[in-house]
Amino acid sequence: MRTPKTYRLKAEDMDKLFAELEQKYIIYAPVRIQGGGRYAKQDSILYKPVHKYEEIEYKERSTYPMKEVLTPITQTLFYFTEDEYRESKMKEKKDILVFGRACDINSIKIQDQIYLKNGDTEDYFYKRKRGRIKFALMECTEQFEGCFCCSVGANITDLHSIAVSFGRNAYVEVLDEDFDVYFENCQLSDYKIKFPEENELKVDYPIIENIDMANKLKKHSMWDEFDDRCIACGSCTMACSTCTCFETTDIVYLQNAQVGERRRTCSSCMLDEFDRVAGGHSFRNRTSEKYRYKILHKVYGYNARFNTGPMCVGCGRCSARCPELISYPATLNKLSRAIEEIKQEEGIDNAK
Ligand code: SF4
Ligand code: SF4
């Protein structure tokens, strides 16, 4: 691997860089939306196309994750008439450069696993956009409340093309040779981009070794409290960097019922009708069962299928968005304690 070079650029030079990059890329980054938050006078920070360096909100975590660039909340997959169909076109006519933190970029590895490596079929609509995306790492210089990327090994990434340290002067590390051309006349620097090494919040991430333990945990009383606490709103999964559940709906146009479009819309295993099947049967009726399913899928089910570690990058958005103040890290710690309890009851030796 080549040794990356780092350059020092003033804010105005960054704007020139963005103008050059925009010849080839649509640049997406977290942007502050004044008054766009959940409560009065509260802002939100969303992924939007940007044209200038100063538009990027780098001092706070984005409210919603990077996945919205790849899998928008609603997208039309194809249009149909009675005897033919046409795929929707990609909204972006250029390649895409997305700014994100190490956890955000690592979350795309998990999205890739689910959309591209889950059985024999790749998701066409995901793949066509994913193939045109490159990443710009945003250096994390401070901790945000509820981050625990270090506890899940998502604090370091290698998937980015450039890395940026934000400030009045920016430092840009270039790893991908396709980007060398943009920095030919820039001032070299010996600045080294840093990754987070330790979070204030430490999580005892649970290790569920086998299906037998997962089944015992399903019956544990730790889930009961969520019947009262969780309102099954799905906000945690919408804000989650790694959740991928969606539903598809055929929209038939009013003027001609033979013509319409198929849409894919983000959904959530926490919502009431998500697991309802033909005949009206639901697999998880109690809210505690939905919450338990979500947690065990992230901690056990995903890794049991792909063997690539947790389905979580420790971004902390789920807890930040929960209107009932349910903490995912606290649940993980409880789950670890429940595993210990079961092992002790059964005399299982941890050292084995
Ligand atoms: S489960 Fe929570 S902390 Fe983990 S990736 Fe999803 S939103 Fe982030
Ligand atoms: S955001 Fe909170 S209340 Fe809503 S489904 Fe998730 S855990 Fe339950």
| Residue 105's pLDDT band (cuts 50, 70, 90) | very high
Ligand closest in space to the Cα of 38: 2
The residue segments making up the domain with residue 301 are 211-243+269-346
Closest CA to 10 of 176, 172, 173: 172
Residues 31 and 151 in one domain: yes
- Give residue 31's pLDDT: 98
Residue in 103, 157, 240 to alter for ligand 1 test, most ligand atoms within 8 A of Cβ? 240
Decide which of 123, 155, 189 is a domain's last residue. 189
Judge if 178 and 216 occupy the same domain: no
Which of 236, 273, 287, 292 to mutate to test ligand 2, by most ligand atoms within 8 A of the CB atom? Answer: 236
Share of the chain above pLDDT 90, in %: 92
Q: Tell whether the model's pLDDT for residue 352 goes beyond 60.
A: no
The pLDDT, as a whole number, for residue 205 is 96
Same domain? For 142 and 283 the reply is: no
Give the ligand 2 atom nearest the CA of 232.
Answer: 5
Q: In this structure, is residue 166 part of a structural domain?
A: yes
What ligand is nearest to the CA atom of residue 270? 2
| Nearest ligand 2 atom to alpha carbon 229 | 3
Provide the number of structural domains found in the chain: 2
Type of residue at 92? E
In the three-class reduction of DSSP (H, G, I as helix; E, B as strand; rest coil), residue 302 is classed as helix
> For the segment 51-99, what is each residue's pLDDT rounded down to a tens digit?
999 999 999 999 999 999 999 999 999 999 999 999 999 989 999 999 9
Ligand 2 atom at minimal distance to the Cα of residue 235: 1
Q: In terms of Cα–Cα distance, which of 99, 64, 2 is closest to 242? A: 64
- List the one residue out of 123, 165, 171, 159 whose CA is nearest residue 141: 165
Query: Do 173 and 228 share a domain, yes or no?
Result: no
Record the tokens describing residue 261, joined without a space. Answer: 């479009």
pLDDT at 223 over 70: yes
Judge whether 57 lies within some domain: yes
Reported as a pLDDT band with limits 50, 70 and 90, residue 2 is confident
Q: How far apart are the first and last CA of the chain?
A: 39
What's the average model confidence in pLDDT over 3-20?
Answer: 95
Q: What is the pLDDT of residue 252?
A: 94
Q: Are residues 41 and 145 in the same domain?
A: yes
44 and 138 co-located in one domain = yes
For atom 1 of ligand 1, which residue has the closest CA? 312
In this predicted structure, the answer to whether residue 141 has a pLDDT above a threshold of 90 is: no
Give 56's DSSP letter.
B
- Mean pLDDT of the 153-166 span: 96
Is 152 touching ligand 1 by the criterion CB < 6 Å?
A: no
Same domain, 153 and 220: no
Same domain for 283 and 173? no
Name all residues whose Cβ lies below 6 A of ligand 2: 230-236, 270, 321-324, 326
> Cα of 241 to ligand 1 centre, how many Å?
6
Q: Which helix (H) or strand (E) holds 115?
A: helix 102-116
Residue 314 Ramachandran class (φ > 0 left, ψ -120 to 50 alpha, else beta) = left
CA of 315, nearest ligand number: 1
- Ligand 2 mean position to 300 CA, how many Å? 20
Q: Percent of the chain, pLDDT > 70? A: 99
Boundary of a domain, candidates 156, 189, 222? 189
Task: Supply the pLDDT for residue 350.
Answer: 67
Instruction: Quote the ligand 1 centre to 303 CA distance (angstroms).
Output: 15
Q: With respect to residue 351, please indicate whether it lies within any of the assigned structural domains.
A: no
Condensed to tens digits (0 to 9), the pLDDT of residues 289-324 reads 999 999 999 999 999 999 999 999 999 999 999 999
Atom 3 in ligand 2: which residue has the minimum CA distance?
Answer: 230
Pocket mutation for ligand 1, best pick of 328, 332, 335 (most atoms within 8 Å of C-beta)? 328
Question: Using one digit for the tens of pLDDT, what is the confidence trace for 250-263?
Answer: 999 998 989 999 99
Q: Is the domain of 133 the same as that of 282?
A: no
For the CA of 239, the nearest atom of ligand 2: 1
Atom of ligand 1 nearest to the CA of 148: 3
Q: What is the pLDDT of residue 142?
A: 81
Residues 138 and 287 in one domain: no
User: Rounded CA gap, 243 and 39, in Å?
Assistant: 24
Q: What is the mean pLDDT of the chain?
A: 95
Tell me, yes or no, whether 183 and 222 share the same domain.
Answer: no
**Nearest residue by C-alpha to atom 8 in ligand 2:** 230
Q: Does residue 349 carry a pLDDT above 80?
A: no
Q: Please, which pLDDT band fits residue 28 given cuts at 50, 70 and 90? A: very high
Pocket flag, ligand 1, residue 328 (CB < 6 Å): yes
Q: In this structure, which residue's CA is closest to atom 4 in ligand 1?
A: 312
Work out the angle at residue 291's Cα, subtended by the Cα atoms of residues 287 and 294, and round it to the nearest 5 degrees.
140
Domain membership flag for residue 199:
no
State in Å: Cα 315 to ligand 1 middle. 5
Ligand 1 atom index nearest CA of 152:
4
Residue 151 lies in a domain: yes
pLDDT, residue 170, reads: 97
- Whether 46 and 183 map to the same domain: the answer is yes
Say what the pLDDT of residue 351 is.
61
198 falls within a domain = no
- Domain assignment present for residue 78? The answer is no
* pLDDT tens digit sequence for 180-220: 999 999 999 999 999 999 999 999 999 999 999 999 999 99
Q: Is residue 261 part of a domain?
A: no
